[in-house]
Every structure is written in structure tokens, then in C-alpha cells.
Amino acid sequence: MGSKIFQRTNGGTQPTIEGEEFIEDARRIVGATDAMTARLKIRSRGESGRLIIGIHTSLSAGNLRATLLEHRQRFRHVERQLVDGASDHLISDLASSAIDVAFAAESAPRWSGKSLLLWSERVVAALPANHPLTCHDVVHWGKLRREPLLIRRRAAKMA
């Protein structure tokens, strides 16, 4: 290296002044490398980083809320960003990698093979007494497709 970093004596080997500086720098580099390796391992396991989640505003409570709260508790080093939008927008955002995952209230043909049913949400629908759907105990989203829906402008806040 062009410099003497250790000095041999009858009492053993001792670092020179240059050697002490070299050892200090080497310890700093090894420490930084260990920290980088640990961060890389954590990130590759999905335990840190950034996750952009697309949701329907109406799904911000119930099972989705519980799932997001559990994710935040288990993966504290993951920054989460919620983006709300209609199914078609969420599909486009997924295709363009603007979001990482999407949660929607209904399945869509464009999602076939790329979606997974996670749970069923119970939603209360208020209908006039003479409405044709009032004779059903259970009404699926598809039956409400042509009906006017009233939803909140803003999602419920996450605790």
C-alpha cells in the first residue's frame, strides 16, 4: 500500500499512526457494508420500502381496514400510501405500475387470472319498499350496478 501500517516489536505487532487511521476507516466501511446488507435483506423480504395501495373509498372499513392495520403493525418499516379510485382507474394504475396492489368491491373481466377473492364485505342497502330487490335476503354488487349509490366523499380515517 506504500505505507507501513503495522510495526513489529519484541512485544508484538502494533499499528502505526497510519495503521490506526486505516483500521478506523476499515471498521467504518465494514460497518456500513453490514448495515447495507441488513437493509437489503429486510427490503428483499418486503419488510421495508414503499407500498402504494389502490382502494375503493367505500372499502376503507371492515376487513380491509383490519388488514391494513395488521400490515402496519407487522411491517413497521414499510411506508404505505393509499390511493382511492374506481375499478377501471385501479386496473389502469396497476397496469402502469402506478400502484402495487388494488382492492376493489367487484371483480372485473380485465382482472381475470390476476385477482383473488379475499373476503366478502357486508353492506347495507336502503331501498324503497316497492323495489324489486327487496324480496332478496342477499343482493350481490352486480345487481346494484344500475342503482344510484350514496357514498361518503372521504374514507373513514385509519387509527
Inter-residue contact 105 to 59 (CB < 8 Å): yes
The rounded distance, in Å, linking the Cα atoms of 132 and 8 is 97
- Please tell me the distance from the alpha carbon of residue 16 to that of residue 4, in angstroms, as a whole number: 7
Q: Is 48 helix (H, G, I), strand (E, B) or coil?
A: strand
pLDDT at 159 over 50: no
Structural Rg of the chain based on CA atoms: 28
User: Stretch 122-133: mean pLDDT, rounded?
Assistant: 82
CA atoms of 27 and 11, how far apart (whole Å): 25
pLDDT tier for residue 42 given thresholds of 50, 70 and 90 = confident
Average pLDDT value for residue range 151-158 = 52
CATH number of this structure's domain 48-144: 3.40.190.10
Domain ranges of the chain: 6-44, 48-144
